[in-house]
Amino acid sequence: MLNLVLFGPPGAGKGTQAEFLIESYGLNHLSTGDLLRNEIAASTPLGMEAKRYMDNGELVPDSVVIGMIKNKLEAQTDAAGFIFDGFPRTVAQAEALDQLLNENGTPVSGMLSLEVVKEELVARLLNRGKTSGRSDDQDDSVIENRINVYNEKTLPLKNYYAAQNKHFGINGMGSIEEIAARLKEAIKAL
Ligand code: ADP
């Protein structure tokens, strides 16, 4: 079973590359950002709670996202593997994911970390905001906060996975195809 964690700052291209990985490897896609936006669109209590954090570029509480992932994993027992996109984002989330996957004997295969310089991230997010309608992509200060939150709370996960020999840095600058080819090489070596 191939269980990939796609990692990188907001705007690194995780969603775009996830699409390619799903097609190439037949994996199930679990994006906490998409799941949360679905909850908001359906006006569920969970969605309403999450929105307050997302609008400000803050992380949604661990208990909320961990519970959501747990439900999805339990509902998809016949998957060939998963691609985790935007999750885990904190050490507590990574520990919870390890626990869930190790219980099933299907641990994380590797964490693929897309590396992109900050100026490029901001430009990509503002550009996406023009077409996606995502309000968190349209406000400079929210974007700035998301990148800061990433550096503070999410970046430590590199060390978490490196300690398990599962961290792989991928150059996230260049064309979509070039980056996809780099990911493929890294997956071959897992
Ligand atoms: P991006 O990678 O561009 O920030 P996402 O769709 O992954 O986009 O996330 C959007 C927002 O959803 C985040 O800023 C955060 O508020 C919330 N979110 C998504 N995933 C998580 C998570 N694993 N833990 C906490 N909050 C999350």
CA dist 187 and 143 (Å) reads 30
State whether the beta carbon of 33 lies less than 6 angstroms from ligand 1. yes
At 98-141, the pLDDT tens digits run 999 999 899 999 999 999 999 999 999 999 999 998 999 999 99
CA dist 188 and 2 (Å) reads 11
Mutate to test the pocket of ligand 1, among 17, 32, 68 (most ligand atoms within 8 A of CB): 32
What number is the average pLDDT over the span 21-47? Answer: 97
Q: Which of 51, 72, 128, 153 is catalytic?
A: 128
CA dist 82 and 2 (Å) reads 7
State whether the beta carbon of 59 lies less than 6 angstroms from ligand 1. yes
| 182 catalytic residue (yes or no) | no
At 35-51, the pLDDT tens digits run 999 999 999 999 999 99
CA torsion sign for 85, 89, 95, 100 is negative
What number is the average pLDDT over the span 7-34? Answer: 96
| 51 catalytic residue (yes or no) | no
Burial 157-178 (b: 16+ CB within 10 A, else e): beebbeeeebbbbbebeeeeee
At 64-106, the pLDDT tens digits run 999 999 999 999 999 999 999 999 999 999 999 999 999 989 9
Ligand 1: distance of its center to the CA of 44 in Å? Answer: 17
At 156-173, the pLDDT tens digits run 999 999 999 999 999 999
State whether the beta carbon of 36 lies less than 6 angstroms from ligand 1. yes
pLDDT at 142: 96
pLDDT at 154: 98
Burial 117-130 (b: 16+ CB within 10 A, else e): eeeebbebbeebbe
pLDDT at 156: 97
CA dist 169 and 178 (Å) reads 15
pLDDT at 74: 94
Mutate to test the pocket of ligand 1, among 51, 64, 146, 148 (most ligand atoms within 8 A of CB): 146
| 14 catalytic residue (yes or no) | yes
